């Protein structure tokens, strides 16, 4: 009888203990929502740049014991993930669901320009800060004015195009290239916007655009495009391209023997897979993005990325994505879970991130990498809007 | 000359995409919307063989082809056969199988994302120029065309010169009548469906040598295959080959002579024209 009571008591206490532990940890964890493509056209890009950083960040925060709150307590983070199938409607729905049904404390900004812009009204309406790390647009002033909760960290279209013109202009003034540019773009929002922005920029810089064509997204054979570009006998080749065509244009240029001194492709040039696929033959290739490989913070970040996720970080938006999560982390630690206070804090404060110190001016970071170049198997930043550590540009020597 | 060769190479690429669906739709009467995913699965096999095993991606055919054949046979046997049995007429079967395989395509995308991750998989293989009449062409594209020619030749020979092929043609023309002359229609249909899947997966192996793919890209190939199959005429291998070549040549000519931006427009214009003037497709039979 006595023994039974003891056992019963023991069971009761252990159940109560487990229950209270469960309650306590459920109360303690901070729910972080995440919505981005896991399937659909942008899934591959998100799988390289977006999702691994969320995994890395959550793992590192929880390994430290959680976020250190103002009152000295530690609270772990719990990530709730949704796949938006690269469909803006799904992104918005998932943001609303995270806010109203999952009661997420914060929501990580979605992936890509289009999905972030689409979700901006939902974030603003629900009062969640949206720190974007993969959105590039010239509409930053309008968007930040309309949505007080959105933040930009990757730069603007004009800055991206302007930097390419600067890099090429410098090469020309050093006598390394002439002034003939062959330009192609993918007929999709990103490519069209960049082509339109860059035409006047190149002309103003004194370049002659000798070939200017677009091709549809998903074109399976780009050899007519590359043949045409080659026939125009350019000094520099500039492609405002998306991942699959960045790979295809490079391979075709190699096959056709398009020998230019400056070869630029936009998105995906900074992906490790680009270097992996082409090896030494892309020495000197220019592309969108870049990273300061000499920074110890970046080195430590890249090592941790490789260790935790099992794959290398890309050479552009990966570190920016991680830095945007650090901004969220430091804001929560400073002011707690009040979303309004966090938004205010992001606006006012300076953050120590893997990208160096970050201070949002008019809700955007004005120092970012714009052009990178493959040098000795690494994609170094060679042009930025004021970041340290840019490497000198080298001339592409051949395939 | 350049345009001609480039166009034929692209056409061969397209025929690899479409050939499997022709068999599946023409003989087994299954409009398989998960066709593109089978192609991507084949490409994954090649990628894995090349990067992890350091072998030629074509070696992947050793397990991809039988694997795809078996998988498609199982899909037909356990997933689609009940639909075939239930269907009262061809229209109903088409609607049912389109819905079923559309759902199946999501399952495949999910499984592949889970198994291989969502990233791009791309590698360089035979990405060297080969000169024909002084113009450089990618060796991998030439290899793809050669494979396409071999596959098309084998299929054509198999379908028109062998006994099982004759049975397949009979089923394609009229499943009921074929049953009356002692052809095991369910078996022939299952075989055609499985063969179609194996051919598509082989196409994936070859295409992966020059196209960048990811787990979600299958739908792009499904769309292209649909256009070609409908253009060529349902259930005729020759039709699919001719339609692929026409499409490849037209797209290359437009891209080279007018503007690469108009290739899609040209492809769909051709598609519309053929539908207007020959709704049954180039080699299709008029419905009596």
State pLDDT tens for residues A97-109: 999 999 999 999 9
Interface of B with A in 8-67 (CB under 8 A): 9-10, 13-14
pLDDT at B288 over 50: no
Cβ atoms of residues B189 and B28 within 8 Å? yes
Residue B134 forms contact with A (CB below 8 Å):
no
Contacts of A255 in chain B (CB under 8 A): 127-129, 136-138
Q: What is the CA radius of gyration of chain A?
A: 24
Whether residue B138 and residue A252 make contact (CB cut-off 8 A), yes or no, is yes
pTM over 0.90: no
How many residue contacts between A and B have a Cβ separation below 8 Å? 123
Contacts of A244 in chain B (CB under 8 A): 120, 211-212, 217
Contacts of B211 in chain A (CB under 8 A): 220, 244, 248
**To which H or E segment does residue B227 belong?**
helix B218-232
- Structure tokens belonging to residue B92: 């109903």
Please report the pLDDT score of residue A158 as a whole number. 92
Q: How far is B241 from chain A (nearest CA, A)?
A: 17
Q: How far is B199 from chain A (nearest CA, A)?
A: 19
Please write the tens of the pLDDT for every residue from A67-86: 999 988 999 999 999 999 99
Please, which residues have CB within 8 angstroms of residue A327's CB and are 6 or more apart in sequence?
A: A131, A151, A346, A351, A353, A358
Please report the pLDDT score of residue A1 as a whole number. 41
Q: How far is A362 from chain B (nearest CA, A)?
A: 34
Cβ atoms of residues B42 and B64 within 8 Å? yes
Q: Cα–Cα distance between A198 and A202 in angstroms, integer?
A: 6
Q: What angle do CA B120, A398, B137 make, to 5 degrees?
A: 65
Residue of A nearest to B126 (CA): A255
The DSSP output letter for A290 is -
Please write the tens of the pLDDT for every residue from A205-246: 999 999 999 998 888 889 899 999 999 999 999 999 988 899
Nearest-CA neighbor of B158 among B282, B27, B59?
A: B27
Q: Cα–Cα distance between B149 and B151 in angstroms, integer?
A: 6
Please write the tens of the pLDDT for every residue from A130-148: 999 999 999 999 999 999 9
Cβ atoms of residues A254 and A281 within 8 Å? yes
Please report the pLDDT score of residue A27 as a whole number. 59
Q: Cα–Cα distance between B266 and B274 in angstroms, integer?
A: 12
Please report the pLDDT score of residue A19 as a whole number. 44
Contacts of B255 in chain A (CB under 8 A): 215, 221, 224-225
A171-178 average pLDDT score: 92
Q: How far is B70 from chain A (nearest CA, A)?
A: 26
Handedness of CA A148, A150, A155, A156 (dihedral sign): negative
pLDDT at B71 over 80: yes
Whether residue A41 and residue B216 make contact (CB cut-off 8 A), yes or no, is yes
Mean pLDDT value across chain A: 90
The 10 Å Cβ neighbour count of residue A14 is 10
Contacts of B14 in chain A (CB under 8 A): 220
Please write the tens of the pLDDT for every residue from B86-140: 888 888 888 999 999 999 999 999 999 988 888 888 888 888 888 888 888 889 9
**To which H or E segment does residue A188 belong?**
none
A21 pLDDT tier (thresholds 50, 70, 90) = very low
Q: What is the CA radius of gyration of chain B?
A: 19
Q: How far is B74 from chain A (nearest CA, A)?
A: 26
- Structure tokens belonging to residue B218: 């299958």
ipTM score here? Answer: 0.86
Q: Cα–Cα distance between A196 and A185 in angstroms, integer?
A: 10
Nearest-CA neighbor of A207 among A241, A160, A166?
A: A166
Q: How far is A271 from chain B (nearest CA, A)?
A: 10
Contacts of B224 in chain A (CB under 8 A): 220
Q: Cα–Cα distance between A221 and B209 in angstroms, integer?
A: 13
Cβ atoms of residues B97 and B83 within 8 Å? yes
Among the partner-chain residues A44, A215, A227, the one whose CB lies closest to the CB of B118 is A44
Among the partner-chain residues A40, A248, A252, the one whose CB lies closest to the CB of B212 is A248
Which of A289 and A28 is assigned the larger pLDDT? A289
- Structural domain spans, chain B: 2-117+137-277
Among the partner-chain residues A44, A252, A279, the one whose CB lies closest to the CB of B119 is A44
Please report the pLDDT score of residue A24 as a whole number. 43
Among the partner-chain residues A40, A213, A277, the one whose CB lies closest to the CB of B261 is A213
The 10 Å Cβ neighbour count of residue A176 is 17
Please write the tens of the pLDDT for every residue from B243-282: 999 999 999 999 888 888 888 889 999 999 998 998 888 8
Handedness of CA B11, B13, B18, B19 (dihedral sign): positive
All structural domains of chain A: 29-156+294-369 (3.40.50.2300), 157-293+370-384 (3.40.50.2300)
B194-211 average pLDDT score: 94
Q: Quick one: B94 exposed, middle or buried, by C-beta within 10 A (0-12, 13-18, 19+)?
A: middle
Contacts of A273 in chain B (CB under 8 A): 119-122
Whether residue A213 and residue B260 make contact (CB cut-off 8 A), yes or no, is yes
Q: Cα–Cα distance between A161 and A288 in angstroms, integer?
A: 9
Contacts of A243 in chain B (CB under 8 A): 120, 212
Residue of B nearest to A223 (CA): B6
Q: How far is A72 from chain B (nearest CA, A)?
A: 39
Residue B256 forms contact with A (CB below 8 Å):
yes
Residue B118 forms contact with A (CB below 8 Å):
yes
Among the partner-chain residues B110, B136, B251, the one whose CB lies closest to the CB of A255 is B136
Q: How far is B167 from chain A (nearest CA, A)?
A: 35
Please write the tens of the pLDDT for every residue from A324-342: 999 999 999 999 999 999 9
Please report the pLDDT score of residue A22 as a whole number. 43
Whether residue A243 and residue B212 make contact (CB cut-off 8 A), yes or no, is yes
Q: Hey, which residues does A263 pair with through a beta bridge? A: A237
B287 pLDDT tier (thresholds 50, 70, 90) = low
Q: Cα–Cα distance between B261 and B245 in angstroms, integer?
A: 20
Q: Cα–Cα distance between A117 and A109 in angstroms, integer?
A: 10
Q: How far is B86 from chain A (nearest CA, A)?
A: 33
B203-222 average pLDDT score: 91
A15 pLDDT tier (thresholds 50, 70, 90) = very low
The side-by-side arrangement of strands in the sheet containing A378-384 is A208-215, A180-186, A236-240, A262-265, A286-288, A369-375, A378-384
Q: Hey, which residues does A379 pair with through a beta bridge? A: A374
- Structure tokens belonging to residue A390: 């840019």
Q: In this structure, which topology does domain B2-117+137-277 adopt according to CATH?
A: ABC transporter involved in vitamin B12 uptake, BtuC (1.10.3470)
Contacts of B123 in chain A (CB under 8 A): 276-277
Report phi then psi at A329, rounded to 5.
Answer: -60, -50
Whether residue B263 and residue A40 make contact (CB cut-off 8 A), yes or no, is no
Contacts of B6 in chain A (CB under 8 A): 221, 223-224, 227
Report phi then psi at A213, rounded to 5.
Answer: -135, 155
State percent of chain B over pLDDT 90.
53
Q: Cα–Cα distance between A225 and A228 in angstroms, integer?
A: 5
Q: How far is A331 from chain B (nearest CA, A)?
A: 31
Please report the pLDDT score of residue A107 as a whole number. 97
Mean pLDDT value across chain B: 90
Please report the pLDDT score of residue A209 as a whole number. 94
Q: What angle do CA A356, A359, A361 make, to 5 degrees?
A: 140
What is the three-class DSSP state of A212?
strand
Please report the pLDDT score of residue A17 as a whole number. 44
Q: Cα–Cα distance between B177 and B174 in angstroms, integer?
A: 5
A307 pLDDT tier (thresholds 50, 70, 90) = very high
Please write the tens of the pLDDT for every residue from A149-161: 999 999 999 999 9
Q: Cα–Cα distance between B52 and A10 in angstroms, integer?
A: 53
Q: Which of A110-124, A180-194, B98-112, B122-136 has the lowest mean pLDDT?
A: B122-136
Q: Which of B8, B126, B214 to mutate to test the interface with A (most CBs of A within 10 A)?
A: B214
Among the partner-chain residues B2, B118, B138, the one whose CB lies closest to the CB of A227 is B2
């Amino acid at each position: 009888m006595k023994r039974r009571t003891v056992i019963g008591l023991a069971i009761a206490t252990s159940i109560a203990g487990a229950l209270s532990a469960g309650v306590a940890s459920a109360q303690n964890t901070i729910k972080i929502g995440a919505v981005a493509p896991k399937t659909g056209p942008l899934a591959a890009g998100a799988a390289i740049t977006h999702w691994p950083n969320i995994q890395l960040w959550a793992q590192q925060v929880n390994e430290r014991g959680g976020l250190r709150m103002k009152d000295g307590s530690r609270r772990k983070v719990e990530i709730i993930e949704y796949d938006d199938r690269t469909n803006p409607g799904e992104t918005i729905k998932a943001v609303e669901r995270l806010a109203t049904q999952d009661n997420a404390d914060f929501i990580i900004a979605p992936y890509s320009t289009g999905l972030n812009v689409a979700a901006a009204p939902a974030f603003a309406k629900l009062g969640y800060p949206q720190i974007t790390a993969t959105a590039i647009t010239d509409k930053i002033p309008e968007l930040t004015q309309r949505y007080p909760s959105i933040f930009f960290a990757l730069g603007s279209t004009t800055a991206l195009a302007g930097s390419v013109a600067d890099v090429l202009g410098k090469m020309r003034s050093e006598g390394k290239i002439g002034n003939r540019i062959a330009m192609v773009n993918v007929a999709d929002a990103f490519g069209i916007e960049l082509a339109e922005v860059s035409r006047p920029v190149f002309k103003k810089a004194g370049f002659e655009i000798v070939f200017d064509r677009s091709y549809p997204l998903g074109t399976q054979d780009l050899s007519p495009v590359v043949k045409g570009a080659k026939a125009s006998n350019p000094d520099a080749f500039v492609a405002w391209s998306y991942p699959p065509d960045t790979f295809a244009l490079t391979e075709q240029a190699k096959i056709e023997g398009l020998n230019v001194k400056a070869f630029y492709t936009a998105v995906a040039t900074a992906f490790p897979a680009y270097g992996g696929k082409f090896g030494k033959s892309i020495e000197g290739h220019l592309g969108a993005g870049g990273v300061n490989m000499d920074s110890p913070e970046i080195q430590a970040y890249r090592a941790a990325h490789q260790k935790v996720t099992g794959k290398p970080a890309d050479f552009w938006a990966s570190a920016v994505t991680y830095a945007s999560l650090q901004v969220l982390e430091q804001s929560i630690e400073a002011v707690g879970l009040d979303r309004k206070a966090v938004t205010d804090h992001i606006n006012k404060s300076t953050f120590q991130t893997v990208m160096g110190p970050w201070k949002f001016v008019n809700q955007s970071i004005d120092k970012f990498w714009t052009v990178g170049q493959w040098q000795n198997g690494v994609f170094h930043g060679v042009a930025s809007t004021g970041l340290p550590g840019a490497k000198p540009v080298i001339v592409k020597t051949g395939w | 000359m350049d345009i001609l060769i480039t166009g034929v190479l692209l056409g061969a690429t397209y025929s690899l995409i479409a050939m499997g669906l022709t068999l599946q739709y023409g003989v087994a009467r299954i409009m398989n919307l998960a066709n593109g995913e089978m192609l991507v699965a084949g490409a994954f096999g090649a990628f894995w063989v090349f990067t992890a095993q350091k072998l030629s991606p074509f070696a992947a055919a050793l397990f991809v082809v039988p694997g795809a054949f078996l998988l498609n046979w199982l899909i037909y046997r356990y997933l689609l056969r009940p639909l075939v049995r239930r269907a009262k007429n061809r229209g109903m079967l088409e609607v049912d199988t389109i819905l079923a395989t559309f759902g199946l395509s999501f399952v495949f995308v999910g499984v592949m994302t889970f198994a291989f991750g969502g990233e791009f998989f791309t590698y360089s293989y035979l990405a060297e120029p080969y000169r024909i009449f002084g113009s450089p062409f990618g060796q991998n594209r030439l290899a793809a065309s050669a494979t396409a020619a071999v596959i098309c030749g084998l299929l054509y020979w198999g379908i028109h010169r062998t006994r099982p092929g004759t049975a397949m043609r009979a089923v394609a023309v009229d499943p009921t009548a074929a049953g009356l002359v002692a052809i095991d229609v369910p078996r022939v249909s299952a075989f055609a469906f499985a063969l179609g899947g194996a051919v598509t997966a082989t196409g994936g192996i070859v295409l992966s040598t020059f196209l960048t793919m990811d787990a979600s890209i299958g739908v792009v190939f499904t769309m292209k295959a649909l256009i070609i199959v409908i253009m060529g005429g349902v259930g005729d291998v020759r039709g699919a080959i001719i339609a692929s070549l026409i499409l490849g040549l037209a797209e290359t000519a437009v891209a080279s002579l007018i503007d690469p931006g108009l290739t899609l427009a040209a492809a769909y214009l051709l598609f519309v024209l053929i539908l207007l003037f020959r709704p049954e497709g180039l080699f299709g039979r008029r419905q009596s």
